[in-house]
């Protein structure tokens, strides 16, 4: 039996036979041709990224089916949402693991685009989910912005511990990411732009 387990701005998630079905629904305010093109391109891109992650055994849902239009079927990840348990566990160690796994993504030219503990599950290890905003890029700027989004998410959801969490994440990232020095330096520039905009 198929049951709705989550709904976002772009899609609905259903659970059926221990598999997750992600359906991107149409937006009535868009022209039909544009809407179909967007849903198709985003579905194909997400499926391609999940396929690449499967090749390197990255802890993420395994792609099962893609209709190349608006539906993806993938493995159901068992575990607890990291946002609900991070402060109860050894958060410094877990945050370092997050940094390491972001580095693995970036080394493969994959930008997650929504790095938040709401998109991570804790099982035997940390699993990343929801690659709906992900894309391929080797740009240092894109990788720095991805880290900045992680920082903002930690500060928002885990305000009591976020500084130590992000410090640990950068430590893990720095150990494993190619060009980590340049990326972290660019992160400072990204944050400076944000502070400048806030003062205007």
15: CATH: 3.30.200.20
pLDDT tens for 169-197 read 999 999 999 999 999 999 999 988 765 44
Residues 123 and 195 in one domain: yes
Give SS3 for 72: strand
Is pLDDT of 93 > 50? yes
Report d(CA 157, CA 159) in Å as an integer. Answer: 6
Task: Please tell me whether residues 94 and 187 are part of one structural domain.
Answer: yes
Query: Both 7 and 64 in a single domain?
Result: yes
Beta carbons of 133 and 146 less than 8 angstroms apart? no
Q: Are 169 and 146 in contact (CB under 8 A)?
A: no
Same domain, 90 and 155: yes
Rounded Cα distance, 71 and 39, in Å: 9
Which structural domain range is residue 34 located in? 3-75
Residues 57 and 134 both lie in one domain: no
Task: Give the domain-ending residue among 75, 97, 120.
Answer: 75
Q: Which of 53, 75, 97 is the last residue of a domain?
A: 75
Please indicate, yes or no, whether residues 127 and 57 belong to a single structural domain of this protein.
no
Residue 198: the pLDDT is 42
Domain count, the chain: 2
Token duo for residue 170 = 């950068």
Co-location of 71 and 107 in the same domain: no
DSSP E strands in the chain: the ranges are: 3-7, 11-16, 19-24, 63-66, 71-75, 80-81, 110-111, 120-122, 126-128, 135-136
pLDDT class for 70, splitting at 50, 70, 90? very high
| Cα–Cα dist 143/112, whole Å | 9
The CATH number of the domain holding residue 174 is 1.10.510.10
- Structure confidence by residue, pLDDT tens digits, 127-174: 999 999 999 999 999 999 999 999 999 999 999 999 999 999 999 999
Q: Which residue has the tokens 């575990």?
A: 79
Judgement on whether residues 63 and 95 belong to the same structural domain of the protein:
no
* Residues involved in catalysis: 114
| Residue 76: band (very low, low, confident or very high) from pLDDT cuts 50, 70, 90 | very high
User: Quick one: average pLDDT of 100-116?
Assistant: 98
Claim to verify: residue 68 and residue 112 sit in the same structural domain: no
Q: What is the pLDDT of residues 21-53, one digit of tens each?
A: 999 999 888 898 999 999 999 999 999 999 999
Q: Are residues 105 and 12 in the same domain?
A: no
Q: Does the pLDDT at position 111 exceed 60?
A: yes
pLDDT at residue 8 in the model: 81
DSSP for residue 76: P
Can you tell me the distance from the alpha carbon of 134 to that of 46, in angstroms, rounded to the nearest whole number? 7
108, pLDDT greater than 80: yes
Would the pLDDT of 199 be above 60? no
- Among 137, 10, 99, 5, which residue's Cα sits nearest to residue 61? 5
What Rg value do the Cα atoms of the chain yield, rounded? Answer: 17
108 and 29, same structural domain?
no
In sequence order, which residues have a C-beta less than 8 Å from that of residue 176 and are 6 or more positions away? 99, 100, 103, 104, 107
**Is the domain of 91 the same as that of 189?**
yes
**86: which DSSP letter?**
G
Of 22, 51, 75, which closes a domain? 75
């Amino acid at each position: 039996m198929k049951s709705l387990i989550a709904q976002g701005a772009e899609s609905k998630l259903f659970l059926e036979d221990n598999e997750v079905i992600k359906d991107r629904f149409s937006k009535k305010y868009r022209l039909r041709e544009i809407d179909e093109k967007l849903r198709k391109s985003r579905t194909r891109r997400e499926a391609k990224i999940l396929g690449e992650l499967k090749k390197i055994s990255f802890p993420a849902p395994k792609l099962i089916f893609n209709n190349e239009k608006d539906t993806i079927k993938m493995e159901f990840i068992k575990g607890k949402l990291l946002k609900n348990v991070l402060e109860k566990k050894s958060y410094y160690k877990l945050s370092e693991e997050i940094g390491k796994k972001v580095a693995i993504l970036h080394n493969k030219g994959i930008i997650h685009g929504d790095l938040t503990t709401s998109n991570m599950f804790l099982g035997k290890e940390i699993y990343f989910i929801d690659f709906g905003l992900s894309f391929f890029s080797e740009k240092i700027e894109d990788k720095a912005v991805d880290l900045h989004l992680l920082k903002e998410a930690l500060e928002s959801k885990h305000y009591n511990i976020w500084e130590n969490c992000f410090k640990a994440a950068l430590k893990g990232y720095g150990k494993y990411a190619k060009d980590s020095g340049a990326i972290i330096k660019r992160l400072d520039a990204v944050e400076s732009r944000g502070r400048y905009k806030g003062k205007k």
